[in-house]
Structures are given as structure tokens and as C-alpha cells.
Amino acid sequence: MPAPFTIRKLRLADLDRILEIERASFGADAYDRKLFADYLRTCGDLFLAVERGRKVWGYLIACTRGERAELVSVAVDPAARGRGIGTALAAGCIARAREDGRASVFLHSLAYMRAAQAIYARLGFARRPDRDWEPVPGIRLLGFRLTL
């Protein structure tokens, strides 16, 4: 996917494509349409899509919680990975959170997602081991925080 691509707010019409990307990225653990629609309704300003031409290639969901933004999920079409899309989505989220006056951006990452963690480190996120947790046995989530 050659540049340029655009980061924009997600639209309801994008949900079918977002579900395709979600299933390709997370398989049986993919979020369903209802959850995405709920996030669009409650976190719409930070539910971002990356688009080239008329096709969506990835998304990022973040929601505001008081003075911080919390990144919920990010995924890029497997055919478009390695082209800076995930980094651009995260940078777009950070910029919007900063413009909105948020003090920080927080996220959890699955322990095995090393490529995503490298992106977060390059963007200035610091590990927060005190925020690590296991929502179910064997699924370890690592905490990261960026002060804005």
C-alpha cells in the first residue's frame, strides 16, 4: 500500500471492513459488530481508521477516561502490515489526545505482541509493570503509559 494514506474518524459505514480486519487479525478472539458499534457510539472521537483511496486498511480505538486516553484495540489488514500504518494510527491517537487536553495515553498489550510494543516504545510509551494483569489465567497484559 503506497502512501499517502489518511487517518480519520471511523464512520458507521466502515464497520463491515473493520470486522474483516478484526477477524483476519484476531481470529476466534475478534470483537463482534455490537461491540464495535458500542465503541463507535461511546468513543467516536478516538475511533480512528486509516484509509487509502476508498479502502480502510486499519483501525484504532481509544476512549477517554478522565484526564487520560486509553487505547483499547488496534489492527491493520495483514496485507498492509509493515508499512507504518500502526505507527501512524498510534501517532494520530496521541495527537488527538494531546489536542483534547488529555494528560496521558494508557494501553495494555498482550505479552507476545513484541512488534506493537516496539512501536509504543518508539512513540515514547514507558512500561508500567504495576498495571500488568491477567484477565484470565494464561493471558498476560502488559501496561504502558505515555505522559503528554
Question: In the chain, what percentage of residues exceed pLDDT 90?
Answer: 84
Please state which of the four CATH numbers 1.10.10.60, 3.40.630.30, 3.40.50.620, 3.90.920.20 is assigned to the domain occupying 6-105: 3.40.630.30
Asked if pLDDT for residue 1 goes beyond 50, the answer is no
At 60 the three-state DSSP class reads strand
Measured between alpha carbons, how far is 5 from 52 in angstroms, rounded to an integer? 5
The alpha-helical segments, DSSP class H, found in 5-137 are 15-26, 33-43, 85-99, 114-122
pLDDT of residue 54: 86
Question: In the chain, what percentage of residues exceed pLDDT 70?
Answer: 98
Asked if pLDDT for residue 148 goes beyond 70, the answer is yes
Asked if pLDDT for residue 14 goes beyond 90, the answer is yes
Query: How long is the chain?
Result: 148
The per-residue pLDDT for range 60-99, each reduced to its tens digit, is: 999 999 999 999 999 999 999 988 899 999 999 999 999 9
- Find all residues with CB under 8 Å of 116, minimum gap 6, and list them: 74, 86, 109
pLDDT of residue 132: 97
Measured between alpha carbons, how far is 123 from 24 in angstroms, rounded to an integer? 26
Measured between alpha carbons, how far is 14 from 34 in angstroms, rounded to an integer? 14
Domain boundaries, the chain: 6-105
The per-residue pLDDT for range 108-141, each reduced to its tens digit, is: 999 999 989 999 999 999 999 999 999 989 899 9
Scan for cell 480486519, then name that residue: 21
pLDDT of residue 11: 93
pLDDT of residue 2: 54
Q: Give the global pTM.
A: 0.89
